[in-house]
Amino acid sequence: MYNKRRTSTKFLLVIVVFALLSTSAYAFVSADKTSAKQMLAERTPIPSTELYRQNPPSEPFGSHERTLCSVDVVAATEVIQPADISWYKQLFNQYNRVESCFSPPVLQTLQGSHVSVDARIYEPLNQMMASARAAGATIWAQSGYRPYSTQRTLFENRVNRYIGRGYSREQAEQNTARWIAAPGTSEHQSGLAIDFNCITMAFEHTAAFQWLVENAHRYGFILRYPPGTTHITGVNYEPWHFRYVGVEHASRMQEYGVTLEEYVKWYFGR
Which one of 10-18, 72-80, 193-201, 244-252 is the stretch in contact with Zn ion (CB under 5 A)?
193-201
Q: Which is nearer to Zn ion, 65 or 195 (CB)?
A: 195
Picking from 262, 1, 11, 35, the residue whose alpha carbon sits closest to that of residue 137 is: 35
Burial bucket for residue 114 (CB in 10 Å: 0-12, 13-18, 19+):
exposed
- Catalytic site includes residue 173: no
Nearest-angstrom CA–CA distance, 181 and 36:
25
Between the CA of residue 89 and those of 92, 179, 188, 202, 260, what are the distances in Å? 10, 24, 15, 30, 10
Between the CA of residue 96 and those of 53, 65, 67, what are the distances in Å? 27, 9, 12
Q: Which is nearer to Zn ion, 85 or 180 (CB)?
A: 180
End-to-end Cα, the chain, rounded Å: 82
181: contact with Zn ion by CB under 5 A: no
Using CB under 5 A, count the residues that bind Zn ion: 2
Please identify which residue in 32, 195, 204, 261 interacts with Zn ion, judged by CB under 5 A: 195
- Which member of 65, 187, 204, 238 is catalytic? 238
65: contact with Zn ion by CB under 5 A: no
Q: Which is nearer to Zn ion, 159 or 223 (CB)?
A: 223
Q: Least distance (Å) from Zn ion to the CB of residue 80?
A: 27
Contacts (Cβ under 8 Å, ≥6 apart) of 181: 94, 151, 155, 187, 188, 235
Please identify which residue in 146, 217, 241, 243 interacts with Zn ion, judged by CB under 5 A: 241
Q: Which is nearer to Zn ion, 195 or 204 (CB)?
A: 195
Which one of 3-11, 18-26, 188-196, 226-234 is the stretch in contact with Zn ion (CB under 5 A)?
188-196
Are the CB atoms for 115 and 199 separated by under 8 Å?
Answer: no
Q: Helix (H) and strand (E) counts for the chain?
A: 9, 6
Q: Which is nearer to Zn ion, 225 or 266 (CB)?
A: 225
Which residue is closest to Zn ion by CB? 241
93: contact with Zn ion by CB under 5 A: no
Q: Least distance (Å) from Zn ion to the CB of residue 115?
A: 11
CB atoms inside a 10 Å sphere around CB 109: 14
Q: Least distance (Å) from Zn ion to the CB of residue 195?
A: 4
Amino acid (1-letter code) at residue 188: H
Look up residue 97 and give its DSSP letter: -
243: contact with Zn ion by CB under 5 A: no
262: contact with Zn ion by CB under 5 A: no
Strands (E), 47-198: 107-109, 116-118, 141-143, 193-196
Q: Least distance (Å) from Zn ion to the CB of residue 2?
A: 58
Q: Least distance (Å) from Zn ion to the CB of residue 189?
A: 11
Which residues are known to be catalytic? 238
Enumerate binding residues for Zn ion (CB under 5 A).
195, 241
